[in-house]
Structure 1
């Protein structure tokens, strides 16, 4: 009987902390990683990240995919990214301390426990009439393994963006 009451009390505490927003203050996101996109860039030892980058710019890792390119302007691509991000649990946080120009920073939180993940997007502008593309780095703030949550979110988000904009070529 005491075990049942104990579980009810713990569940009540979790509900209060989770749904009042207290958990967001208990699990601060800190600053974004400001990742450098280059083949020689070392990737984190923890398996809590995912990268989307065009061939030739991606660091060497098995936790990556090629990023799509689009026949559009950087502003159009940024608008679609910002517009579709909330459907994937992300909030635009551009202007964060240490943020670099030409990048978008999103804060994502996991659905149940609200663990924070940073999603960083760097636009790669076309050279003389080429298509625009980007590099993306998504990393969990806490933990050593994200159980592929950053990969799942990234793939779903990019599929949504491609669905709205259409792939190039």
Structure 2
């Protein structure tokens, strides 16, 4: 009976802390420097990040995939990115329309661990572009694939939004 009571009290305490927003203040996200996508960009030594790059914009890394080429200009791709960010549950902390770069922080559902996501649209040719993306965890040595899943989902949604856009333009 005592164990059940302790479990109930612990569960109610966690629920109170979780839904009061207290976990967000207990696990601050900080504010990383603006990401500069380049072959020399520093990467964590721990497997708690994931990259999407193209055109030689990122360093060699095991945790990355090559960006597909989207059939829209970089400006149009950036507009689609801006449409998707609110649906990903993130809070935008940086936006630069000139460099087509946006950053947001997103938190895990249960424990509210923060992850930073930088997204940038990069031109390939006149009417095509690529996504440069860097998603990384603030806490922990391993992200258990969360950053990879987040960016793969984003790529799929961008593909669906941009497919056929160049024909309609």
TM class by smaller structure: 0.7 to 0.9
1:47 match: secondary structure: coil
1:113 matched to which residue of 2? 111
Q: Quick one: structure 1 residues 50 and 33, their matched pair in 2 at CA, closer, same or farther if it must change by over 3 Å?
A: farther
Please show how residues 1-169 of structure 1 align to structure 2 within 5 Å: 1-94=1-94, 101-127=99-125, 129-166=126-163
Q: Which has the higher strand share?
A: 2
Q: Please list the CA deviations of residues 79-115 of structure 1 after superposition, one character each: whole Å capped at 9, or x if unmatched.
A: 221222233332322259xxx9542001111111110
CA distance in 2, matches of 1:132, 1:168: 13
CA RMSD of aligned residues (A): 2.4
CA contact (8 A) 2:74 2:128 kept: no
Q: Quick one: structure 1 residues 150 and 33, their matched pair in 2 at CA, closer, same or farther if it must change by over 3 Å?
A: farther
CA contact (8 A) 1:68 1:167 kept: no
More deviation, 28-37/55-64: 28-37
CA contact (8 A) 2:93 2:105 kept: yes
TM-score (normalizing by structure 2): 0.85
Count of residue pairs brought into register by the alignment: 165
Cα distance, 1:138 vs structure 2:
0.5
TM-score (normalizing by structure 1): 0.85
Q: Quick one: structure 1 residues 153 and 131, their matched pair in 2 at CA, closer, same or farther if it must change by over 3 Å?
A: same
Structure 2: 5+ residue stretches without partners: none
Q: Please list the CA deviations of residues 3-58 of structure 1 after superposition, one character each: whole Å capped at 9, or x if unmatched.
A: 11111111111111111212111111111343332234342101100000004222
CA distance in 1, matches of 2:164, 2:88: 20
